[in-house]
Chains A and B, each alone.
Chain A
Amino acid sequence: MDCTNKLRIVFGDATFGVHGEEFHYIFSYGSGGLESLVVKGKEWLYRSPRPTFWRALTDNDRGCRFHLRSGMWHSSDMFQNCTGIRLWVDGQEYEKPWAPNNNQWMDKSFAEKICISYTYETITVPATTVEVTYTVTVEGTIHVNVHYHGKEGLPELPVFGMRFILPTKATGFTYEGLSGETYPDRMAGGVPGVYKVDGMPVTPYMVPQDCGVHMATKWVEITRNYVKSNADHSNEEFSLRFTMDKEPFAFACLPYTAQELENATHHEELPLPRRCVLSILGAVRGVGGINSWGADVEAPYRISGEKDICYSFKIEI
């Protein structure tokens, strides 16, 4: 059997492995997500990526008491439950693919396409679900499809997307999109182009708050130069690219989670940067500007919690 153009797959007891010459992906059942993303020997994940529902409040968010209406998304961002996992290999579903069912597929070692979806349930009241589906094709590209199910009674969201925490700092990132930091209601002045940013700048707003969002992005490439592996001493740069699928996306590449930013009242209180928090976003709330003591963001730039949000992107090696 000619396997050179196929994915090597591993029906593990607790994980599902997908391998190519230059990549190794491990989808975990226990951690509820993609646990390992190794490209050319470099690990790209610190913890399994999860949907994100929170941004560190902006001064205007605080001013219009957004957090008092939508605060439940804060805890949903931190705590969420993986309630379902489904796996398809070459279009055929494999139910409960972990042990002991995996014993029956010992000889199934290659595939052209695999697809694994995770369902996450929020701790909001009422609860809702998000489905994140990873599709891997032979060249190693991971298509990520994200579907938030809107539910009546849920408050507006500050943001929605996927949060990837990378194990070490980024030395910088390059993207094709708009210049500067942009938001849905503040992007007219953004000039389209390819931009290279050094490090992971946190915009020095007097009180740390959500920042660093880049709207209308076609692709972003993150560059790092070290890993946590004790056996890898290289300082050579290596990169990974996130590319739009059907529509451009928004992203932020920061050294901190929303909670870390939220917790600080001054920049000097933020922890020493150690990792890279990359958010690939399907919906972003505007920042507003009418005033900072009550006026909400204009209606078109708010994110309803009651409507579905679907978006997709690709991770290219």
Chain B
Amino acid sequence: MKPDITWLDNPEVFRVGQLPAHSDHSYTLEGKEAALCLNGQWDFAYSRCAAERPVEFYKEDFDRSQWDKIMVPGHIELAGYDKVHYINVMYPWEGMYYRRPAGFGEEKYAKGQFSEADYNPVGSYVTKFDLPEHFEGKRVCISFEGVEQAMYLWINGQFVGYAEDSFTPSEFDLTPYIRKEGNLLAVEVHKRSTAAYLEDQDFFRFFGIFRDVKLYAKGDVHVEDLWVKPVLHEGNTSGSLTVEVKLSGDLEEATLEYVLKDKDGTVKLSGVEKCREAFTLAPGETMEVIPWDNHNPYLYDLELVLKNKEGKELECIHQSVGFRRMEIINKVMLLNGQRLKIVGVNRHEWNCRTGRCITLDDMKWDMELFKENNINAVRTCHYPDQIAWYGLCDENGIYCMSETNLESHGSWGKYACLDASWNVPGDFPQWKEVVLDRARTNFETFKNHPSVLFWSLGNESYAGENLAAMNAYFKETDPSRLVHYEGVAVNRAYEDRISDMESRMYAEPWEIEEYLSNNPKKPYILCEYMHDMGNSIGGMKSYMDLFDKYEMFQGGFIWDYIDQAIMVFDEITGEEVLRYGGDFDDRPCDYEFSGNGIVFGDRTPKPALQEVKYYYGLHK
């Protein structure tokens, strides 16, 4: 297979040579670490556009002696190569290029629009690594947990694959090309591709390898995918567990032992199964369980051990399991039979020094702040977060709306008007599979997290056939969760086909009352409200009062958690200062519009937080 630079221009090419998305479970390999982190200083070259990139950089004999070094993970802009740019609704090429998506009008506008652009930066990355001893002879794969926005991958001079979807893992099998020592990994990252139409989130526009890169080895028998399906029965005292397992490797006479334990170590379920490619464990045996919720995020531990015919341990998994029940009864969303009240916040991954490249410590800080301030829910605006965040949500009982990486605001929200004439994904057949793939990856990766109560199709992408297809995918695949999407509020033609709830953003209190007092169709949620830009969060009472007035009012997510600002050294005083859109000569831009957090860019709380804590404490 040969890489093709025009994949950048083609919305129908978004994964080449990638492994299918799968559950995010971690495991040990024969008692050792199964993953090797490849983060660190990599060799790096920056090019302004594809035409200027070092095309043959992946070859082992290519001369990289003049290259720079760059820290992986990180954004290329923050390493000083390309300009930092903040822009909200408009596409980042506004006023620079006339672009229309494939499928709309004359294809001449779509052809070569990214691959031939005179500005579409490329980051060429190279690193070398040796295999750990215990990886030798094993199937070896690589996971890029976040690369913005399109990447080509080579190892040892061989092309491996291509990936988009910046915010979910992109994984590739390196087994055919891997060697014991001196492996040469080469990644070519393009700032923009057709994915840019789908990643028009209101944030700083970055590119590069910005999340962990991990090499992992599969056991001789490997759990490719795990789907735990806990069921909490009515009454909330009993439940059952079904586990769907997909295996690969040398299955002959191999076994899978499983044990489910509660927090005290009491065995709730156990058994041994012969390994097959796909099978179901523990189908539906009733047992006493303690339910999972915000007040008591009770998790069980499911241990899975794969053994070969000699009884040697190949892989061991510890998977958290939470029993909870999400349903809509009489148009009210219920969790474990109780009316669900969301007192939540939208959260971008952000650190003022490293952008969207954040650490586990950042996440833990955020989680502590949530708990201290009675925040019970998070919307992962508007892309899937790092995997660790979902685990923290499970452990801390934070209800999670897991958003698919999709926003195409600039394709329908125009200057002073709504113009959906070239809305993507819209109804264009060329844009269907790519958004379905994003939905599938969101589901497959995070399906085992009890904290995920909602799948969200994405944000501000209008509504059309392709969003309806995403909705149908989630509904068919996962009955244990609800589907959320706000965009039908601007295209009511789809309201019976998209979203289990009436979701609105920034509705005024009287508008909410108007909906809820006029034979409402769906339970009501505010996916964004209380826009905390600067000195704000006034008038929260008017929203909180609706909880007591309308059973179908189920709360909302404040916009948003953290100011997106960047710490730089002031050119005049030399002191560290926080800067925002427009401060980098970035135009057109939306200036301070990214500063809407309940915490400042450096994570210190804004004064308004005490108000949030007070009202959320009344309702959580």
Contacts and interface: CB of A to CB of B under 8 A. Distances in A.
A185 B538 CA distance: 5
Contacts of A63: 533
Interface string A168-203: 000000000001111111111111000000000001
B610 A268 contact: no
A255 interface: no
Nearest to A287: B538
B573 interface: yes
A266 B579 contact: yes
Interface stretch (B50-58, B259-267, B393-401, B612-620): B612-620
A176 to B, nearest CB: 17
A79 interface: no
A35 interface: no
Contacts of A185: 538-539, 541
Given A59-B536, A183-B538, A188 B611 contact: yes
B204 interface: no
Nearest to B572: A268
Interface string B516-552: 0000000000000111111111111110000000000
Interface string A54-70: 00001110010000000
Interface stretch (B32-40, B158-166, B600-608): B600-608
Contact of B540 (A180, A186, A204): A186
A186 B577 contact: no
B610 A179 contact: yes
A289 B595 contact: no
Interface string B566-601: 000010110101111001000000001101100011
Interface string B180-193: 00000000000000
Contacts of B601: 206
Given A179-B610, A204-B600, A206-B563, A289 B536 contact: yes
Contact of A298 (B539, B572, B600, B611): B539
Nearest to A212: B607
B535 A287 contact: yes
A288 B539 contact: yes
B565 interface: yes
A297 interface: yes
Interface in A265-298: 266-268, 286-292, 295, 297-298
A190 B563 contact: no
Given A185-B539, A268-B572, A301-B539, A206 B534 contact: yes
B575 A60 contact: no
B202 to A, nearest CB: 12
B606 to A, nearest CB: 8
Interface in A52-100: 58-60, 63
Nearest to B607: A181
A207 B573 CA distance: 18
B533 A59 contact: yes
B506 interface: yes
Interface string B486-509: 000000000000000000001011
Interface centre among A58, A191, A205, A206 (most CB of B within 10 A): A206
A133 to B, nearest CB: 32
Contacts of B583: 266
B538 A206 contact: no
Interface string A210-234: 1100000000000000000000000
Contacts of B610: 179-180, 189-191
B595 A207 contact: yes
Contacts of B542: 298
Contacts of B612: 189
A119 interface: no
A203 B577 contact: no
Contacts of B509: 290
Contacts of A286: 538-539
Given A209-B534, A290-B506, A189 B611 contact: yes
B575 A268 contact: yes
A205 B598 CA distance: 11
A189 B538 contact: no
B534 A268 contact: no
B614 A189 contact: yes
A291 B506 contact: yes
A292 B531 contact: yes
A180 B538 contact: no
B578 A287 contact: no
Interface in A140-193: 179-191
Nearest to B600: A204
Interface string B219-239: 000000000000000000000
Contacts of B580: 206
B508 A58 contact: no
B578 A59 contact: no
Interface string A252-272: 000000000000001110000
A290 B509 CA distance: 9
A287 B577 contact: no
B71 to A, nearest CB: 26
A206 B565 contact: yes
Contacts of A291: 506, 531
Contacts of B533: 59-60, 63, 292
A182 B606 CA distance: 11
A58 B539 contact: no
A186 B540 CA distance: 7
B497 to A, nearest CB: 28
Nearest to B597: A206
Contacts of B531: 60, 289-292
A75 B529 CA distance: 34
18 contacts: A58-B535, A59-B533, A59-B534, A63-B533, A181-B535, A182-B607, A185-B539, A186-B537, A186-B540, A189-B614, A204-B604, A205-B606, A209-B534, A266-B579, A266-B583, A289-B536, A290-B530, A301-B539
5 smallest CB-CB distances across A and B, nearest first, come from A189-B614, A59-B534, A185-B538, A181-B607, A206-B595
Interface of A: 58-60, 63, 179-191, 203-207, 209-211, 266-268, 286-292, 295, 297-298, 301
Interface of B: 506, 508-509, 529-542, 563, 565, 570, 572-573, 575, 577-580, 583, 592-593, 595-596, 600-601, 604, 606-608, 610-615
Given A60-B535, A186-B539, 10 more contacts: A179-B610, A181-B608, A186-B537, A189-B614, A206-B563, A211-B535, A211-B607, A286-B539, A289-B540, A290-B509
